[in-house]
Structure 1
Amino acid sequence: MVHINQEEYLQLLEEILSIPSPSGNTEAIIKRIESYLQQLNIETKQNNKGGLIATIPGRDSSKQRMVTAHVDTLGAMVKEIKPNGRLRLDLIGGFTYNSIEGENCTIETASGETYTGTILLHQGSVHVYKDARTAERNQANMEVRIDEIVRNKEDVVKLGISVGDFVSFYPRIEMTPSGFIKSRHLDDKASVAILLLVLKQVKEQQIELPYTTSFLISNNEEIGYGGNSNIPIETVEYLAVDMGAMGDGQSTDEYTVSICVKDGSGPYHYGLRKSLVQLAEKNSIPYQLDIYPYYGSDASAAIRSGHDIKHALIGPGIDSSHAYERTHFRSIEATGNLIYQYLLSDLIK
């Protein structure tokens, strides 16, 4: 079994959570992960989309695997500078405006300058606006209050802020003594940190994988196409490591690894799913099978783009996905152990 040191994991996770990386603006986080892997003497290369591919040779290169986790997150762009000096947003990724109401944020200009602000309802004051409680949280009503002395659009333009600037949400990272991890963007940075520590153990223990395996740190998953390219022709199996979605009617919890059997794209490969279940049961790894009705992954994107692969999806259980998320270290451990056992296993027939 792989051993994920809790302190090491939390330190690594906090570091990558603290680097803003909304889809479309992931260069800084990719560079940090590239540096981490290069320190382990793992061969890496970037694709034209800006994602990172690491390859570990195995005994057999005629049949290969690919494992992905995505480092891009939800975020926004400046849609409009309003006459009152506030910013109107356009969302990046599938989430709701009410999930970011009251959140602090960072605006990054094209020149690299950053400013802080807060995302608020325009009719925010109950002392002024009769509809403060009932106004719809949408693009027309939500705005960013910039933490600078600005009274109008011209003042904002002088700061260098313009349409198309990226807006990142504060992660608000908190680790509790009881083992819970609370933060935005655990989807999917929790999985990225797991994957990095599994790779570290494989390299440090000089473990020979049975099959050459490519590891893609995807950077466009939240907008639907992060993992649909750069798949070696020899790839037989494709495993996406992404969050397990929790809620009413779901089996996924915060203490096991979630194995997805079906999402919005349809069923995942039945044989590969059964193989993952067998690995979990054989190695006493706690797991749940689940269906995510409004979900797509890098694996489903790869299938849609026409690749002839067997695809699967696993990940830690995440509560309140695409809002202020939470998981538990037990789910992190279970996910890490299933990834490790999968990497050492035989291809399914």
Structure 2
Amino acid sequence: MNTNINVNETMQLIKELVSIPSPSGNTKRVIDFCEQYLANSKIEMKRNRKGGLLITVPGENDQQHRMLTAHVDTLGAMVKEIKANGRLKLSMIGGYRWNSVEGEYCEIETESGKVYTGTILMKQTSVHVYKDAGDAKRNEDNIEVRIDELTNSEEETRKLGINVGDFVSFDPRVQITKSGYIKSRHLDDKASTAILLRLIKQISEEGIKLPYTTHFLISNNEEIGYGGNSNISPETVEYLAVDMGALGDGQASDEYTVSICAKDSSGPYHLGLRKHLVNLAKQHNIDYKVDIYPYYGSDASAAIRSGHDIVHGLVGPGIEASHAFERTHETSLMNTEKLLYAYVLSPITTI
């Protein structure tokens, strides 16, 4: 299998993607980037009404379609309240824990597009002042944003143009190590987005003829539950979400293989498609792990919940410390790329 994979280029693309703020609800800039990345490819692209990017590659069989998705929206926050001391109270976007963003640098984007920097802190941070600095509950009442501007009151903060509903994004702190790791916030799911973008570009540039018309959706609302639940053509037979493998105690996934999901919180994924993916991995000597993610949902499960009559599956690189300070290895990215390349060229065997 000649996939022409250059994992260094994939990692550099991931670095670019995670460096573009894109919390769910404010993703136009990163979708623009994805569209521009594919601009010279002779492929059909359009935006859906939710702002996602839909790419279609015609195949030899136009009666049966495939769809692959990755999501480019991330965790983030909104300004919930401007406090009397000029600092900001936050409302979460997506499912994370407050302790995972404590001490993080952030950006506040106003309605006019002006951006301010700040730091997310406990109001009881100073151990020299607060006896309960270590014990105080990490929640939305105690977490606040210290803005890097001269402001000590609600009035002064409002004069900056900051208001309730402004988006707050987290510093990704992206690094690529000499040992082959990439660590950053938002590898969920910008790692898989980069993999799909590079696959689409390769198909276009090398003139690869796919066996089935294949749609690729860069979705932008997955973290809030409905990113990939629409724009699914009635001809679509198989729907594959490309997201992350979750790592931790009791999990089979790791940072070096491609994860193939058997079940998550939505229930089992399609057995026939899972078997097909496993067989492809075996056939092409791709390192993989089959796993179950107990507190997880994907664009594929959202599509099933929306009533689409499709075969659904989920694969992705193994991501350590999901929804916090994430990390994966180049070998996991490479194995995921190899599996997806083999998949889009394989026959549909699930019907």
- Give the deviation of 1:14 after TM superposition: 1.2
Tell me the TM-score normalized by structure 2: 0.99
Instruction: Please name the residue that 1:106 is paired with.
Output: 107
CA distance in 1, matches of 2:183, 2:8: 15
1:189-208 paired onto structure 2 within 5 Å: 189-208=190-209
Instruction: Please name the residue that 1:178 is paired with.
Output: 179
Instruction: Please name the residue that 1:266 is paired with.
Output: 267
- Give the deviation of 1:4 after TM superposition: 2.3
Instruction: Please name the residue that 2:221 is paired with.
Output: 220
Instruction: Please name the residue that 1:324 is paired with.
Output: 325
Over aligned residue pairs, what C-alpha RMSD do you find? Answer: 0.7
Instruction: Please name the residue that 1:20 is paired with.
Output: 21
* Mean CA deviation greater in 3-12 or 51-60: 3-12
Runs of 4+ in 1 over 4 A off after TM superposition: none
Amino acid at match of 1:53: L
CA distance in 1, matches of 2:271, 2:12: 36
CA distance in 2, matches of 1:283, 1:6: 18
1:291-306 paired onto structure 2 within 5 Å: 291-306=292-307
Instruction: Please name the residue that 2:36 is paired with.
Output: 35
- Give the deviation of 1:36 after TM superposition: 1.3
CA distance in 2, matches of 1:38, 1:56: 14
- Give the deviation of 1:189 after TM superposition: 0.1
SS in 1 for 2:134: coil
Instruction: Please name the residue that 1:283 is paired with.
Output: 284
CA distance in 1, matches of 2:127, 2:169: 27
| 1:140-172: CA deviation from partner (whole Å, max 9, x where unpaired) | 000000000001111100000000000000000
Amino acid at match of 2:265: G
Tell me the TM-score normalized by structure 1: 0.99
Gaps of 5+ in 1: none
* Mean CA deviation greater in 258-267 or 34-43: 34-43
Kindly indicate whether residue 116 of structure 2 is the aligned counterpart of residue 126 of structure 1.
no
The answer (yes or no) to whether the contact 1:38–1:44 under 8 Å persists in 2 is no
SS in 1 for 2:126: coil
Amino acid at match of 2:292: I
The answer (yes or no) to whether the contact 1:227–1:298 under 8 Å persists in 2 is yes
| 1:128-148: CA deviation from partner (whole Å, max 9, x where unpaired) | 001000001000000000000
CA distance in 2, matches of 1:281, 1:28: 39
| 1:225-255: CA deviation from partner (whole Å, max 9, x where unpaired) | 0000000000000000001000000000000
| 1:249-278: CA deviation from partner (whole Å, max 9, x where unpaired) | 000000000000000000000000000000
- Give the deviation of 1:9 after TM superposition: 1.5
The answer (yes or no) to whether the contact 1:268–1:313 under 8 Å persists in 2 is yes
CA distance in 2, matches of 1:102, 1:243: 25
CA distance in 1, matches of 2:206, 2:111: 43
Amino acid at match of 2:193: V
The answer (yes or no) to whether the contact 2:7–2:333 under 8 Å persists in 1 is no
CA distance in 1, matches of 2:168, 2:43: 32
CA distance in 2, matches of 1:206, 1:330: 26
* Mean CA deviation greater in 4-13 or 56-65: 4-13
SS in 2 for 1:98: helix
| 1:58-79: CA deviation from partner (whole Å, max 9, x where unpaired) | 0011000000000000000000
The answer (yes or no) to whether the contact 1:81–1:87 under 8 Å persists in 2 is yes
Tell me the number of residue pairs that the alignment of Structure 1 and Structure 2 aligns: 349
CA distance in 2, matches of 1:6, 1:313: 21
- Give the deviation of 1:204 after TM superposition: 1.6
Instruction: Please name the residue that 1:77 is paired with.
Output: 78
SS in 1 for 2:118: strand
The answer (yes or no) to whether the contact 1:240–1:297 under 8 Å persists in 2 is yes
CA distance in 2, matches of 1:128, 1:169: 27
1:26-175 paired onto structure 2 within 5 Å: 26-175=27-176
CA distance in 1, matches of 2:221, 2:50: 8
Amino acid at match of 1:44: M
